[in-house]
Amino acid sequence: MTAHDSPLISDDAMVTRHPGMIDTMIGDELIGLDLESGNCYGFNATATRIWALAASPIRFGALCDQLVCEYEVDADQCRRDTSVLLSMLGKDGLITVTPTR
């Protein structure tokens, strides 16, 4: 999936992790096992940070603002890349992105 395949997420949308994945850190990367599906996931350092920030429900804009502060990344690029990652995690049932009304 590329940034062109995934619509941008609204800054006000809530990002929530689903329970049910057990995980452990190996170096600066997270390895997780979804107990429901049996799928195993490996997150790079940036995806691991996004997973950590989403430990409690967080607005997409706040998540991206935090990433921009921590990494040398343009805000628009961060929003595009994070939208793609969250879309992939959402398709696997690991994350829910709830638009505000």
Residue 15 or 19, more confident: 15
Would the pLDDT of 25 be above 90?
yes
Residue type, 92: D
Would the pLDDT of 4 be above 80?
no
CB neighbour list of residue 53: distance below 8 Å, 6 or more residues apart: 63, 66, 67
pLDDT at 87: 94
Q: Which residues pair with residue 43 across a beta bridge?
A: 30
* Mean pLDDT of the region 11-37: 93
* Mean pLDDT of the region 34-62: 95
Would the pLDDT of 6 be above 70?
no
